[in-house]
Structures are given as structure tokens and as C-alpha cells.
Structure 1
Amino acid sequence: MGLAEEIAAMRGGSGHSGRLLGEFRRTALLVPLSGGDDGGLMSGWQGGVRWIYAFTDEEALARFAVQRGAGVHEWDYLSILGARLVDAVIPTVDGPTGVAVDVADEGGSMLFPPVVGIVADAYAVDAGPDRAEAV
């Protein structure tokens, strides 16, 4: 099953969080570039968290572009594994950062928040000195 199917299963109540996260980490995601001089990744803010936009395929990215009023323009994007996004990119971003997958698809989107188990503990909002260690 691909990431879009794992998201659908999770949203439908029959998914498994471990399979979903594993598929997210293995999937080459399409991340649009911001178009600014910094060459950064396109992201948005919600609830005090920066969300990097990522898409499972070009069609999902195109739906997002249309929603943003840029459907006729080509967007530059980076193809990057989900694992590399959370393990190598997120540590370079200031503040809490997660990944929003297929955000233009109301019934097919999924957020991967900056929490333990998704991002490195040093960048997780729920990690801290008083967090109980799993036994």
C-alpha cells in the first residue's frame, strides 16, 4: 500500500500508525519551493507550528496549486523521502515544524506533527526532561 492508501486507511479507522509512519518515511514526497530568494520549502503556520507542505504525487500538488490560485503556473518542487524531510530538514528549521501531506485533499490529508516518534526528540514539542521513558 502507498502513502495515500495508508492515509485513507487511517482516516477510515482501519489503519495502523506504525504502517502509516513507515510508509511516510519511505515515500518520495513532492515539496514545492517557496519561490523566494532563499530557495526554501513552501510552508504555512497553524497553531504555533510551521507545516511544510508535501504531496504524494503531482496531481495532489496540482490540486493545491489550483486552491492557491496558481493552477496555470508551473511550480518548482523538490522530491525528498519523508525520512529525510523529518530527520535532516526539520532540524534546520527554527521552531516547531511538522509535515502536512496532501493538504488540498480534504478527505485525504494527514498531518505529521513535531512529536516524539515522528521527529527527533530534540525537535519534538512533547519531549522534555519530565517525559516518562517507555519501558
Structure 2
Amino acid sequence: MELTEEIAAIRDGSGDPARLIGEFRRAALLVPLTLPIDGTDGTDGTAHGGLMSAVQGGIRWFYAFTDEEALARFAEARGAADREWEYLAILGARLVDAVVPMVDGPAGVAVNVADEDGSMFFPPVTGIVPDAYAVDAVDAVDVA
């Protein structure tokens, strides 16, 4: 199954979480790049042309899409369908194993976030991100 099919199966209650994570890790995802901002468009000029993300609830969520059509729906939802969207194609595994550890604080991935019935969040928990960056990881401590 492809990632979108696994997401649909999870959402309808028939999916397997392990299969979902496997498909996520194998999927080539499209992650939009932020534009370098000079402050002339009404923003504060703080973006630096990195991977597009947002912070919600203390977690940085990277936006990722399964195909260009899903990215286009996101652009339209943001009122920015008229501009060209540059993106990085990256495996889900590389996104969580290499990019998440570079973030200062917890980070996860929001897939197809503009698709009301097809989105899925991959939070910064064990089994998704490296244990050292998972918010639910507990250090092994001997308790006497």
C-alpha cells in the first residue's frame, strides 16, 4: 500500500499503525521551502529559505505532501496558489531521522495537512522519531 492508502485505512479504523509508519518512512515526501523574506510582504523578515513548518503546542511541525496535487491544495488553502512553490523531495525516514534532530525542541511531520480527510500527523514520539528526540522517551535509570 502507498502512504495515502495507509492513512485512509488508519482513519477508517482498519489500518495497522506499524504499516503506516513503514509506509511513511519509505515515502518520498514533498516538503515546501520557505521563501527568503525581505520584510516587504508584511512579514517580520525572519524566514531564511528553509523547510516550511509551523509551531503548534510547543511542537515544530514540518509540512510534507505525498504529491504535487496535495501541495497545490495546501497552496490554495493558504491563498497562495498563484505563486510557484519550490520543494524538497525527501524520504520520510530522512525527514525524521536527520532533520528532526536538527531542530531546537520537539518536531514532527504533518502530512497532507490541507486534506481534511487525508491528513496525518507523525508526532515526536518513540517509534517515529529517534528516541533521543521523542517527547515520550524515558531515560533508563536504575531505581533503587
Q: Which runs of 4+ in 1 moved over 4 A?
A: none
Cα distance, 1:46 vs structure 2: 1.1
2:52 alignment partner AA: M
Cα distance, 1:130 vs structure 2: 6.2
Aligned residue number for residue 60 of structure 2: 50
Structure 1 SS opposite 2:110: strand
Q: 2:123 aligns with which of 110, 113, 116?
A: 113
Structure 1 CA distance, aligned partners of 2:105 and 2:34? 18
2:57 alignment partner AA: G
Structure 2 SS opposite 1:78: strand
Aligned residue number for residue 125 of structure 1: 135
Structure 2 CA distance, aligned partners of 1:85 and 1:104? 19
Structure 2 CA distance, aligned partners of 1:38 and 1:68? 19
Bigger Rg, structure 1 or 2: 2
Aligned residue number for residue 109 of structure 2: 99
Aligned residue number for residue 34 of structure 1: 34
Structure 2 CA distance, aligned partners of 1:115 and 1:130? 16
Where structure 1 has 5 or more consecutive residues not aligned to the other structure, the ranges are: none
TM-score normalised according to structure 1 size = 0.93
Aligned residue number for residue 12 of structure 2: 12
Structure 2 CA distance, aligned partners of 1:13 and 1:93? 32
1:23 alignment partner AA: E
Cα distance, 1:34 vs structure 2: 1.1
**Deviations for 1:89-126, whole angstroms, at most 9, x for unmatched residues?**
11111110000000000110000000001000110000
Structure 1 CA distance, aligned partners of 2:49 and 2:98? 16
TM-score normalised according to structure 2 size = 0.88
Identity of paired residues, percent?
A: 72
Structure 2 CA distance, aligned partners of 1:45 and 1:92? 15
Q: What is the number of residues matched between the two proteins? A: 131
CA-atom RMSD, angstroms? 1.2
Structure 2 CA distance, aligned partners of 1:114 and 1:53? 14
Where structure 2 has 5 or more consecutive residues not aligned to the other structure, the ranges are: 37-46
